């Protein structure tokens, strides 16, 4: 059962090869055996999981099963979960028990899924390596001395190590796609507004989007089917019908136009990673797709624009964590100012403080127009580049990261070098476009991810193009030897 996909577990439950209780206990046992090494779970909800699994078995026995009934999943610890600690991997929320469910959690509960626990992450989703957690760094299952990518590194590592068959994540600047790439699994960031943000603790409100991480594009389609949809409780949610994401998976891609942006294959891309991506491109040519060179002339602006916009929104969103209403409060404050200062100084980690300071600065009087307003104007240019590109092609293909997973601690003293890890992913969040990362090969015995970018609300096509690649390759079937 260890490496089974969601699809295979669905079939096994339907055919009575095993029960939900048995498959759930299997994953709980693996978590118990390996989480101390990988550190991918903050909270394990074993008792609740088995209760949910028992209920699911009764539903299956009555012939009333839904697509995810009895399927064990893990959730990134950024989604509020009623009665369970929701920490965002921060000391600030180490004592916070959520009083309600995020819409995503609610949808999975209604769909009959089983919750294994809450996964580790970069604090408040700020990071590219999952080294910024109050609960310690997450290890990459392919090499425990390397990072799994961030901020959804706990979710990605849990799936890669087969401690969960799939998991939820969030993507503000690449935080689903990047850890999926570095851990050798599949992960999709949907169009902004496609998945509800209600109950998802905010980092950058105009950038954040929830999505699934799983072994295959097919599994991602199954999970996204439950996650997607309009939510009146979320003002950024789009009221648009949700298609059947699995329906088009097996459609022929002959004649499909794939765009290669020269700017995303330029200096800075590791040569071995580039070779892996080029081999994947040849595979698409064999499948009948047409490969076209395109331009994204403003792609070089993505990093400076993102690191103005995202910290500005972070500064605003995290102002609520002040030691007054909930979360960490310092001991014996002298006065209100002391309460604010020490609660925030003690509660937030270094990377969060860094981004709050940057964000507060760019929003301050005298600097707003020079930085934040200018960044939003440049953001529009990035979006327009993609709009022009999609007049020529159906999807865009590029790397996910410039290199494979790096050693833990290698970039912690160099924030700029760390930020450059997001160079190929940030622009999608700025434009609000969907993107998927799928395994494309290996370099230095470590996974390499390939990114496919689609037009707005074109997740079905992305999943189809990714699935077709996975039908003729086996990179997504490779798994690390974790035991």
Count CB atoms within 10 A of the CB of residue 409.
Answer: 12
Task: State both tokens at 334.
Answer: 């002298």
**CA 448 → CA 53, 299, 402, distances in Å?**
35, 22, 10
CA-based nearest residue to 259, from 287, 292, 299? 292
Based on the residue annotation, tell me whether 411 is a catalytic residue of this protein.
Answer: no
| Catalytic residue flag (residue 186) | no
- CB contact set of 197 (below 8 Å; sequence gap of 6+): 103, 205, 208, 209, 210, 234, 236, 237
Q: Which of 175, 299, 315, 437 is catalytic?
A: 175
Catalytic residue, from 19, 20, 76, 427: name it.
76
Give the separation between CA 120 and CA 200, rounded to whole angstroms.
15
Clarify whether 162 is annotated catalytic: no
Which residue shows structure tokens 């070098």? 417
Confirm if 449 and 182 have CB atoms less than 8 A apart. yes
User: Pairing state of beta strands 435-443 and 395-399?
Assistant: unpaired
- Residue 467 is encoded by which pair of tokens? 């699935």
First-to-last alpha carbon distance for the chain, in angstroms, is 13
CB 421 within 8 A of CB 401: yes
Are the C-beta atoms of residues 260 and 294 closer than 8 Å to each other?
yes
CA distances from 380 to 223, 299, 332, 376, 430 (A): 31, 12, 48, 7, 8
Q: What angle do CA 221, 228, 224 make, to 5 degrees?
A: 20
Name the region of 436 (left: φ>0; alpha: ψ -120 to 50; beta: rest). beta
Q: Which residue has the tokens 């890669």?
A: 160
Distance in angstroms (rounded) separating the CA atoms of residues 412 and 194: 33
Catalytic residue among 90, 128, 133, 151: 151
* Cis-peptide into 151, omega within 30 deg: yes
> Which DSSP state fits 242?
P
Q: Which residues are catalytic?
A: 76, 151, 175
């Amino acid at each position: 059962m260890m490496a089974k996909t969601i699809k295979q577990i669905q079939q096994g439950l339907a055919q009575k090869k095993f029960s939900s209780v048995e498959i759930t206990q299997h994953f709980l046992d693996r978590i118990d055996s390996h989480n101390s090494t990988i550190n991918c779970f903050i909270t394990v909800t074993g008792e609740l999981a088995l209760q949910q699994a028992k209920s699911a078995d009764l539903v299956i026995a009555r012939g009333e099963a839904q697509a995810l009934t009895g399927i064990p999943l893990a959730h990134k610890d950024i989604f509020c979960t009623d009665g369970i600690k929701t920490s965002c991997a921060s000391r600030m929320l180490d004592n916070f028990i959520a009083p309600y469910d995020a819409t995503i959690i609610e949808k999975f509960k209604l769909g009959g899924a089983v919750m294994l626990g809450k996964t580790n992450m970069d604090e408040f989703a700020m990071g590219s390596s999952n080294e910024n957690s109050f609960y310690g760094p997450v290890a990459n299952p392919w090499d425990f001395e390397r990072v799994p990518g961030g901020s959804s590194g706990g979710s990605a590592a849990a799936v890669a190590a087969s401690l969960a068959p799939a998991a939820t994540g969030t993507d503000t600047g690449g935080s689903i796609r990047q850890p999926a790439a570095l851990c050798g699994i599949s992960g999709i960031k949907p169009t902004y507004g496609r998945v509800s943000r209600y109950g998802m603790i905010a980092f950058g409100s105009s950038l954040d989007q929830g999505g699934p991480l799983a072994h295959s594009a097919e599994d991602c389609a199954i999970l996204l089917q439950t996650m997607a949809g309009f939510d009146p409780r979320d003002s950024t949610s789009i009221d648009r019908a949700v298609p059947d994401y699995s329906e088009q998976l097996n459609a022929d891609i002959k004649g499909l136009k794939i765009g290669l942006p020269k700017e995303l294959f330029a200096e800075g891309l590791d040569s071995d990673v580039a070779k892996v991506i080029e081999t994947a491109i040849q595979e698409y040519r064999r499948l009948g797709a047409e490969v076209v060179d395109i331009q994204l002339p403003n792609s070089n602006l993505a990093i400076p624009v993102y690191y103005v916009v995202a910290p500005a929104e972070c500064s605003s969103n995290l102002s609520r964590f002040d030691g007054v209403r909930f979360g960490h409060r310092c001991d014996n404050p002298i006065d209100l100012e002391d309460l604010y200062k020490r609660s925030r100084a003690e509660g937030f980690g270094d990377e969060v403080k860094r981004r709050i300071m940057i964000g507060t600065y760019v929003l301050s009087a005298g600097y707003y127009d020079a930085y934040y307003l200018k960044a939003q104007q440049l953001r529009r240019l990035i979006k327009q580049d993609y709009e022009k590109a999609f007049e020529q092609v159906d999807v865009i293909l590029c790397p996910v990261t410039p290199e494979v997973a790096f050693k833990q601690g290698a970039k912690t003293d160099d924030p700029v070098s760390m930020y450059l890890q997001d160079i190929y992913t940030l622009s999608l969040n700025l434009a609000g476009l969907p993107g998927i990362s799928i395994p494309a090969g290996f370099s230095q015995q470590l996974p390499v991810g390939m990114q496919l970018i689609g037009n707005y609300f074109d997740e079905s096509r992305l999943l189809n193009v990714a699935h077709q690649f996975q039908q003729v390759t086996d990179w997504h079937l490779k798994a690390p030897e974790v035991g």
